[in-house]
Each structure stands twice: as structure tokens, then as C-alpha cells.
Amino acid sequence: MRYTLTLCLVLALGLAALADEKKESRAAPNVVRVGNPAPGDAPVKEVQVSAKKYEYTPEVIEVPVKTLARIHLTATDREHGFELSSIKDSCVKFKPGEPATLEFYADKSGTYEFKCCKVCGIHHGRMKGKLVVK
Ligand SMILES: [Cu+2]
């Protein structure tokens, strides 16, 4: 009997710890990190990008190499997406009033195309821009 009680207590504590962990990982639901992880001491460049049918402002983002680009995405008319074409699973979607942030550590210089990854209308396919790392 005592053994069963102890076991129940241990299980309950374990579940509570699990629940806590889940809460923590959900703390920042709208930040998506893509690509290689950034070293802890990497400089950060904050960039604001707004999206509407069918363009991003700005269309060209410049980030110094070996910098963490923290790209804050807002939509002004309807839901849009932002995806780095050459980076797998980098699509982030965001709606008016529900911004999102994409973090990308630019460890190599080059030009990364980005595009909308949420079908947003007839000219969705031309909604593109460039992230220039130099
Ligand atoms: Cu679109």
C-alpha cells in the first residue's frame, strides 16, 4: 500500500514537471529559428519587415555575415508567409495583429531569396525578396 502511494506521488510529480516544461517551450510561440544555430555571442540585427499583397517592405534586407538576423514580420492586409527558399522548413506564417519572428544565423555571405509561403491571392507567386548577407 505504501509502495503504491509513493509510486502515485512520483508519477504525479513527474507529470507536473512535464507540464511545466511544455509551458516553457511555448513561451515564445511566434519565434522560429531556422538554419544553423548561432553562437551565443553572435551579434544580433533586428529587422522589421511588413507584408501586404503582393510585396514585402523592405524587399531587400541586408545583414552582416556572422550575425543573427531577427526578422520581425507583420502583415497589414491578410495572412502572409515568409520562407527562405534555400532553407528547409523555414516557412513562418503571420496574420494582421499576430506578428511572427524568424531568426536566421547568417554564417556565410551570399544572397538568400525569400518568398511568401501562404497562398494569399492571385499574384502570391511574385511575392518575393532578398536577404543579402555580406
Ligand atoms: Cu502569398
pLDDT tens digits, 49-95: 999 999 999 999 999 999 999 999 999 999 999 999 999 899 999 99
What's the CA-to-centroid distance between 100 and ligand 1, angstroms? 15
Q: Exposed/middle/buried for 102, CB within 10 Å: 0-12, 13-18, 19+?
A: buried
Residue 25 C-alpha cell reads as 517551450
* Tens digit of each residue's pLDDT (9 = 90 or more) over 30-43: 899 998 899 999 99
Give the separation between CA 6 and CA 8, rounded to whole angstroms: 5
Give the separation between CA 91 and CA 82, rounded to whole angstroms: 6
Give the separation between CA 49 and CA 72, rounded to whole angstroms: 6
Q: To the nearest whole number, what is the mean pLDDT of the chain?
A: 86
* Tens digit of each residue's pLDDT (9 = 90 or more) over 4-34: 555 545 555 554 555 544 444 444 568 999 9
What's the CA-to-centroid distance between 129 and ligand 1, angstroms? 12
Confirm if 86 and 62 have CB atoms less than 8 A apart.
Answer: no
CATH number of 29-133: 2.60.40.420
Query: pTM (2 decimals)?
Result: 0.77
What's the CA-to-centroid distance between 54 and ligand 1, angstroms? 7
